[in-house]
Amino acid sequence: MSWLLPLSALSAEHRGLVGSKALRLAELGRQGVPVADGFCLTTEAYRAMLRQSGLLTRIGLELERLPLSELRWEELWDTAQRIRSLFLTTPLPPQLSTVLQTLPADWQDRPLAVRSSSPQEDQAGASFAGLHDSFLNSRGEAALLEHIRRVWASLWSDGALLYRHELKLDLGQSAMAVLIQPMIDSEVSGVAFSQSPQNPAHCIIEAVYGLNQALVDGTLEPDRWQLERHTGTPITHHRTTHLQALRPTGAELALHPLSPSEQHRAPLTPAQLLAVFTLAERLEQHFGTPQDLEWTLADGRLYLLQSRPITTLADTCEPAAWKRADKRPWYLSLKRSLDTLEQMQQRIETTLLPEMKADAARLATIPLTQINDRALAAALETRQARLRHWQERYWDELIPFAHGARLFGALYNERLKPADPFEFTALLTGTEMAALQRNEALATLADTLRAQPELARTLDKDPNAPLPGAFDTALKHFLQRFGQATFHAHALFDERANLIRLLLELARQPAPAAPRHAPAREQLTHRFLKAFAPDQQTLAQRLLAIGRASYRWRDDDNLILAAVENELLRAMTEARQRLQARGCGHDLTQLEADTLTALLRRRDCTLPPTVTASIDEPIQRQARPALELPVFINEDADFVLRARQLVGQPAGAGLAEGPARVISGPEDLFAFRAGEILVCDAIDPNMTFIVPLASAIVERRGGMLVHGAIIAREYGIPCVTGVLQATQKIQSGDRLTVDGYLGIVTRHEPQ
Amino acid sequence: MNALEQLKTRVAGLLAEQSFAALATRDGERLHNSLVCFAASADLHALYLCTPRSTRKYRNLLRTPEVALLIHSAVNRSLDLQQALAVTAQGAARILDAAESARYSPLFLAKHPHLAAFLEAPSTALIEVRITHYDLVSRFQDVATLRLQPASEHTS
C-alpha cells in the first residue's frame, strides 16, 4: 500500500498515483527551484475510500440519475453538491489516520496547505485552473482529515462536471491525489503567466499582499505588471488600491487591514518583480511551454506553489455541440466570494433595482393614447431598448448574485453535514418575497368574495359586472401594486375578467393555512449559528444574510423586470389598436414590437414574420451544449409512445395526486383549478399566483433553487424539476402522482 | 431521430442483444416464471420462443394465453439500477402449427443456432407472442410504454 509518498521521492512512474501538480513540484524541487517540502496522499487512498465505504456505487447512482449532457448549470451544481455531501458524511477509511501519523512530528503544530493534485489533467493535456479545491491553514488532525475529504470531493465539482469530456472524468478510472505541505505564511503572493494569453510578446505578473487565495478567488484585486517577455523589462504597471490582505487567523483565514505604508507601496519591489519573472522564464524553459505559476514570498525568499502549462480552453478538444456556444467559462465565472457578493447586494438593492423600478414608473407616466403615431413608434423603440438594457443587467449582475444561495448552501453543508444536502433551503424560505406579498394580496381579495357570496355569484355569472365601491378600490390598489405582471409577452392582468375568475376560484377554496416553514426555519437557523465559534458569529450572520438576499432577489427581480416589459407591452397594445383602426388586416396580436414600429412609421401592412419570446434563459447562458432532444413524436403507423413515469429532481418534499394543467400561455393560468398539478416548461415568478391553488409543481427546467422549487417550498407542496420534455409528455387532464421525495412523476393510465 | 424512433431503436437493440427473457405465465391464481430463449420479429410485433410440450409453462399458456416477458441488460452490479435497461413485453401467446413453425423457425434459429436440435424435436412447440405493448424502464424509474396501434396488433 503506497498511500503517502514524500514529494522528494516522486518520479514519472508515480504519475497516476500523485497527479501532475505534485509531480511537477517534485521535479522542480530536484532542479533547485524553491518549493515547500511535502507529502502526497496518493490516489490509492482515494480509491480505498470509495471501495470500502460503498461511495463508488452511490456516486455512480447520482451521476447516472439523469444524462449529464442534458443538465443545466444549476443542476450540475446540485449534482456536485450531492456528491460532495456524500464525501462529507461518509466515514473515512480507518487506516487513513494511521497513515497520516507518519507525517513529520513537527508538522502537528504547523498550519498545513492541503492541495488537490489530479491525474485527470494529464489525460486532458490541458490545465483547468480552479476546478478542484485546495485549503490553507489546516491545523490539527481533524482539520486535515476534513480537508482531505473536501479535496477528494472536488474531483466531482460542478466545474469538473462541466469539463468532464476534456477531463475524461470517469467513475471507474478517475481519482484524486492530495498534496500536503507546511503552509508558507506569505508576505506577498501572486500568479504569473510566462506568456500573456493576450500578447505573446509579454509576460504577466500579478501580486497581492498576504496569501494567494484572495487573488485566485477574486476577493482582492491584484497589482498587475506587463513585462517584455524576453528581457523582463516592465512595460505597464496597473496599480490597485490595496487595503487588505488575507492571512491565517486562528483556524481560519481572514482579511486584515494593511498598514498605511503597505497601502501606498506596490506589493513587489523591482528586484522581486524581476525574481518572479526569472522564475517564470526558467519554468517555461524547463517544461518547453509557457507556464501559469503561483508563487509566494516569505522571509524574503521566493517559493513556487505550483506551475502548469497555459492552455487556452478554446484549444481543447470539444464535442461538436459545444462549438456553437460554449459558455462554460461564463458559468464558472459566476462564483463569487462573500465580500464580492456583499458589494453586489449593495449595488442591486441601492442602485440597480430602484433604477429599474423608477425606469418602469417613468415610462408609465407617458400618456400613450395622446401622442401621435410617430411618437408612439419612438416610444416603442425606447421601451425595447430599455427592456434590452435591463435584461442585460439581469444576466450580468442579478443572475450572478444568485450564487449567494449556493455559497451559503455549500458552507452550511460543510459545517452541519446534514443528510439532505438541500436542507439549507429551509433557512432561506420565509423572506419578504414580492411574489408571496402579491399572493397574500390576492388571498385578501378572495376573502372578501368568500364573505360576500351574493357578489361572488354575480361575478360568477358575469365577471365584468360592476363592482361595489370598496371591492373596486381594493382591486385597483392590487393592480397598482402588482398589475404589471407579464407572461410569454402578455400583460397578465390586462383583462379584469381573468383576474375576477382567478379570485372566484381562490374564494371557492377554504381560507389558506399559514406557511408551514416557520418552525423548521427557526430551528435550523439556530443550529447553523451554533455551528460557528463566538468570534465567527458575524461571519455566520453575513453568510445567512447573503443567502437569504440572494434567494429573495432571485425571485423578486423577475417581477421588477416584468414592470419594464409591461410598459413595452402597453405601447404595443396601443399600436395594435391604432393599426386595427387603420384597417390593417393582419392578426395584429402576433406582431412583435419591431414590426409594429415599422407599421406605425410606414403605414404599410406587409411585414416580415415574428419571433416568439422565451422565458427560459437563452441557450448560451445554460452552460451546456445546445440541447438536441428528440422531437417528441409519440405515434407512428405501428406504435403509440406514452411516458408513464418521468424522473426529475426532488425539489420540494411531499406526495400529491391530481389532474395536470400544462401551462403554455396566459389562458392556461386563468383556467387553473384548485387541486390541479402545475406542469410548466420554466416557472416564472410572474405566474406563481396560481401556486396557492396547485397541489404540486412539475417543471422541465431543473434545479433545486429555480423559481418552481422556491415557491413550492414556500407553500409546502411537492415539486419535481428537471423533467425533460415535461410539457410534451404530459397533457392537461392527465392524472398524475407527483412524488416530491424521490423526484418521480407518474402518469396514470386513462380510465 | 424522433423520440418514438429512438425508443423503438432501444427496444429493438435490447431484444437483439439479450438471449434470455423471464416468461411469466399463469395457472389460475398461481403465477409461474421461466427463463426462456427468445427472438423478436424485426417490426417488434411478435416474440418467438420454444418449449417442450410437457412443461408447466406450455400448459399454462394453453389455458391462459396472456403472458409477460421481462428482458433486461442488468449484469448483477449495483450500478445496474441506473444503467440497465429493462423491458416488459406483454401479449398473447399462441402455439404455432407446423406450417407457421416452418416459417418462423429460421428467425429463432438465426439468434439461437445451437438450439436447432431442440427446436426440431417433435415434442417441442414454437410459440408466438403477439405483443400488445412494451414497458421500457431506464434510469431506475423512467418508464415509457410503447403500445401497438390496434390495427398493427395482428399484422406482421
pLDDT digits (tens, 9 = 90+) for A510-556: 877 665 555 678 899 999 999 998 888 998 999 999 999 999 898 89
Question: Could you read off the pLDDT of A104-147 as tens digits, one per residue?
Answer: 998 988 999 999 998 877 665 666 667 888 999 999 999 999 99
Residues of B in contact with A64 (CB under 8 A): 79, 82-83, 139
What are the CA-CA distances from residue B65 to residues A28, A259, B33, B92 (Å)?
76, 90, 14, 5
Q: Which three cell numbers stand for residue A733?
A: 387532464
Spans in chain B with pLDDT lower than 70: 151-156
Q: What is the maximal distance between C-alpha atoms in chain A?
A: 92
| Over residues A287-299, mean pLDDT | 92
| Over residues A642-664, mean pLDDT | 94
| Type of residue numbered A85 | S
CB-CB under 8 Å, B143 with A644: yes
Residue with cell 412443461: B55
Helical pair A43-53 and A15-30, crossing angle rounded to 10 deg: 160
Residues 6+ apart with CB under 8 A from A615: A487, A488, A681, A682, A684
Cα atoms in the Cβ-side hemisphere of radius 13 Å centred on A717: 26
Residues of A in contact with B139 (CB under 8 A): 64-66, 647
Q: What is the pLDDT at residue A251?
A: 80
Helical pair A43-53 and A140-153, crossing angle rounded to 10 deg: 80
H helical segments located in A120-258: 120-124, 140-153, 158-162, 164-167, 213-216
Ramachandran region, residue A532 (left: φ > 0; alpha: ψ -120 to 50; beta: rest): beta
CB-CB under 8 Å, B6 with A57: no
3-state secondary structure chain B: CCHHHHHHHHHHHHHHHCCEEEEEEEECCEEEEEEEEEEECCCCCEEEEEEECCCHHHHHHHHCCEEEEEEECCCCCCCHHHHCCEEEEEEEEEECCHHHHHHHHHHHHHHCHHHHHHHHCCCEEEEEEEEEEEEEEECCCEEEEEEECHHHCCCC
d(Cα A549, Cα A342) in Å, to the nearest integer? 10
Of all residues in chain A, the percent with pLDDT exceeding 70 is 90
* Confidence (pTM): 0.85
Q: What is the pLDDT at residue A162?
A: 84
Comparing alpha-carbon positions, the chain A residue that sits nearest to B154 is A638
Q: How far is B10 from chain A (nearest CA, A)?
A: 13
Q: What is the pLDDT at residue A46?
A: 96
Helical pair A73-89 and A55-64, crossing angle rounded to 10 deg: 170
Q: Which residues pair with B37 in a beta bridge?
A: B20
Q: What is the pLDDT at residue A253?
A: 86
| Type of residue numbered B33 | N
Residue with cell 426440431: B120
**Lowest mean pLDDT: which of A337-351, A598-612, A639-653?**
A598-612
Give me the total of CB pairs closer than 8 Å, taking one residue from chain A and one from chain B: 88
CB-CB under 8 Å, B83 with A64: yes
Residue with cell 478567488: A217
d(Cα A330, Cα A622) in Å, to the nearest integer? 9
Residue with cell 497527479: A19
CB-CB under 8 Å, A645 with B143: yes
A159, A130 in Cβ contact below 8 A? yes
Q: Which residues pair with A179 in a beta bridge?
A: A40, A115
Residues of A in contact with B78 (CB under 8 A): 57, 60-61
| Type of residue numbered A390 | W
CB-CB under 8 Å, B81 with A641: no
pLDDT band at A587 (very low <50, low <70, confident <90, very high): confident
pLDDT band at A395 (very low <50, low <70, confident <90, very high): confident
User: How many other C-beta atoms can be found within 10 angstroms of the C-beta atom of residue A2?
Assistant: 12
